[in-house]
Amino acid sequence: MLLLTFLLIQSYIIWISSVDGNIPFPKDMNIHVLFPPIIQTHESIPLGHLRPLGWQRRADGPILEDSLNIEPARFYHLFVQGNRSVVIRGIVSALDVLWTDSYLSKRYGHLNVTVAKRKQRLIDTLIMMPFKTFLEQYRQDDLYMNTIIPDEMKTEASLPSLITCGIFSKRLLEPILWISAGDTASLLYAHAQNTLHCVLDGRKDFIIYDTSNKYPHELNLIKQSNGDLFSRIDVDLVNTYKHKYLHSLPWYWTTLYDGDCLFIPAYKFFQVRAHGRTIALSIDMAPPDIRNDFIGLDCERNPPIYISLDKGQFQWRYEHGIRHLTKRIITSDDARTYLLLLLGANDQLYKDIFQNFYVQATHELASKDLGLPTANHIWKQLNNDATNEDYMTRNQITNLPSNVLQLLGDILQKSARIHEYEKSEL
């Protein structure tokens, strides 16, 4: 799930440094909510009309659960290759006692974080503010936090050992920290990445739809430049005259509490609703080529359930309030790896997906180096197939010459190390 400034269809960032003088009404912090809902029919009104998502038909059942000690090979074969969601309880450390608002404010309040309006909308405002300011506001204001967890906080969070070996360890993209208060509903959406969503404190209710089509047009979809799909359906007030399709669409549910995780495969449509004070960590992973078998020679026989999050080798990190690539030395092989990760389980890497990655990776550098090559220019250097300018195949990427890849690698390295350079060196 590549989020932050590129999370929403259209967004802009405002810097906030002080608390608004108005005193808003406190949010409802109740976590004792009935879910899934008890469906009641009315003869004159379609089922679930102007009710939240999930009221349009009875749930078909709970999402499958598996053992805390599930082995990486089993996880890969049954759920990654099998394209199935699964709940694993107790697989991360709960932080309900440690991460109080006062503790977070005192220890990490100086850090800059990205926050957004409480209800995700197709056009939204992303806000950069000190963590302390967010903690002072979020219980009253319509704000929730979604930011790559800062490095300073990683030592106190955990990473399931399940995804730290074999094919998983090389495909970790980013760990996103979510903090919200009150009833907070997401849009109905599907990520282009595999996601392991873990609740560290609080409660989250999930709906996952069983769609046979990767792009069910009945959901009125919008595709983002990173490949994510969002539905225009209002998840709080569903118009079932317009969206009759929901009456026939099977859905499954789960409720996550402290220490529980839910694996959501790429392009599975889901919607989540948080209650009360909730802290969660979602770990995005690039989908593998599922035609390949699992190789886990580095997987331990009896590993700990989880390790410190800072031990994970993620592609992205958060620095100076902006996302950057983690690697500081980027070779031609690294550049090829980035392209293959963008490819995921597909056989074609499309130009818009590459452009989205390039813009994110060079965002800060581009504002300071006006001579920086554009994404379109670099794409033309990489894709020498004059008959097809829209995508590169897996075979093309695998066989790209090192000198061409190094052109991309040098730019990415310069961008990743931008704070190590003096202005005159850019």
- Crossing angle of helices 351-368 and 332-343, in 10° steps, is 130
Fold classification of 328-417 is Recoverin; domain 1 (1.10.238)
Q: Give the CA distances from residue 394 to residues 68, 89, 114, 332, in Å, rounded to whole numbers and listed in that order.
A: 35, 36, 34, 16
pLDDT in tens, 105-117: 999 999 999 998 7
Q: Where in the chain is the domain with CATH 1.10.238?
A: 328-417
- Farthest-apart Cα atoms in the chain, separation: 73
As given in the structure block, the two tokens for residue 335 are 């550049």
Phi/psi of residue 87, nearest 5 degrees? -100, 135
Residue type, 122: L
How do the pLDDT tens digits run along the chain, 426 residues long?
Answer: 444 434 433 344 444 444 444 556 788 889 999 999 999 888 889 999 999 999 999 999 999 999 999 999 999 999 999 999 999 999 999 998 899 999 999 999 999 999 987 555 555 677 889 999 999 999 999 889 999 999 999 999 999 999 999 999 999 999 999 999 999 999 999 999 999 999 999 999 999 999 877 789 899 999 998 999 999 999 999 999 999 999 999 999 999 999 999 999 999 999 999 999 999 999 999 999 999 999 999 999 999 999 999 999 999 998 877 889 999 999 999 999 999 999 999 999 999 999 999 999 999 999 998 899 999 999 999 998 878 889 999 999 999 999 999 999 999 999 999 988 655 455
Q: Is the C-alpha dihedral spanning 209, 210, 214, 217 positive or negative?
A: negative
Rounded Cα distance, 163 and 10, in Å:
33
As given in the structure block, the two tokens for residue 104 are 């977070």
Contact call for residues 82 and 108 (beta carbons, < 8 A): no
**Is 333 exposed, middle or buried (CB count within 10 Å of its CB: 0-12, 13-18, 19+)?**
exposed
Rounded Cα distance, 145 and 111, in Å:
13
Tell which residue, 93, 90, 181, 198, has the closest CA to residue 142.
Answer: 181
CATH code of the domain made up of 61-318: 2.60.120.650
CA of residue 70 relative to chain centroid, distance:
23
In 248-273, which positions are buried (b, 16+ CB within 10 angstroms) versus exposed (e)? ebebbbbbbebbbbbbbbbbbbbbbb
Using CA atoms of 217, 219, 222, 224 in order, give the dihedral in degrees to the nearest 10: -100
Rounded Cα distance, 185 and 169, in Å:
31
Q: Is the peptide bond before 36 cis (omega within 30 degrees of 0)?
A: yes
Rounded Cα distance, 269 and 85, in Å:
11
pLDDT attached to residue 118: 53
Rounded Cα distance, 174 and 303, in Å:
22
pLDDT attached to residue 119: 52
Rounded Cα distance, 57 and 71, in Å:
35
pLDDT attached to residue 22: 54
Contact call for residues 88 and 66 (beta carbons, < 8 A): yes
Q: Where in the chain is the domain with CATH 2.60.120.650?
A: 61-318
Residue type, 306: Y
Number of H helices, E strands in the chain: 10, 22
Rounded Cα distance, 54 and 44, in Å:
19
Tell which residue, 157, 163, 168, 196, has the closest CA to residue 70.
Answer: 163
